[in-house]
Amino acid sequence: MKWLQHLRTINHHKWLVMKYCFRAELYKQGLLHDLSKYSFVEFIVGARYYQGNRSPNNAERENKGYSAAWLHHKGRNKHHLEYWIDYSLEKDKPMAGMKMPVKYVIEMFCDRIAASKTYNKEKYKDSDPLHYFEASKEHYLINEDTKKLIYDLLTMLQEKGENETFDYIKKNVLTGKIKY
């Protein structure tokens, strides 16, 4: 019955991201978020490696040395910074993170809150999404402007909470009042 538990996890995560995207007035993104998780290549891995407390893609990666589900997922979902990795025009840097459009950075922000709430459940704190970002930042290939925006938003979430951060996103980030 791991497939059913995985389905419930996907549905819960997707519902949370939709709720947060709607708060940011990103309705289309909220509705379409992570639909590829229902595709065969992603769903079967999730069902096989389901553990309930972390991404099944990590377990697949540990078992095979790579995650076919993750490679499929990040190539189809623009809210993942890995979608935006491309060849660099700088000679000393073969690959680089491209600047993400702001609406996808906001969706990434919503995704990080939802993932933290999904896996941490009742132990969730507003500092969890920032801690998750910081724990993995050494291996990220991410554009500096994109990194600054997501880091600033996750820090604001930790310090000021959801309500103030989503108000800031709607009034300043998505309107262009702050330069990104």
The domain segmentation of the chain, as residue ranges, is 78-173
Say if residue 153's pLDDT is above 90: yes
pLDDT at 5: 95
Q: How confident is the model over 25-32, as a mean pLDDT?
A: 97
Per residue in 121-132, pLDDT (tens digit) is: 999 999 999 999
Tell me the CA end-to-end span of the chain in Å, nearest whole number: 45
CA distance 75 to 83: 5
Answer whether residue 118 shows pLDDT above 90. yes
Work out the percent of the chain whose per-residue pLDDT is above 70: 100
pLDDT of residue 138 exceeding 90, the answer is no
Cα–Cα nearest to 141, from 66, 72, 87: 87
Q: Where are the alpha helices (DSSP H) in the chain?
A: 2-23, 27-32, 40-49, 56-64, 68-74, 102-120, 128-136, 144-168
Res 54: pLDDT: 87
pLDDT at 175: 95
Residue 79 is encoded by which pair of tokens?
Answer: 């809210």
pTM (2 d.p.)? 0.94
Please tell me the predicted confidence (pLDDT) of residue 147: 96
pLDDT reading at 139 higher than 90: no
Check whether 52 has a pLDDT greater than 90.
no
Q: Any idea what DSSP says for residue 25? A: T
What is the mean pLDDT of the segment spanning 70-77?
Answer: 97
Percentage of the chain modeled with pLDDT above 90: 91
**pLDDT (0 to 100) of residue 127:** 97
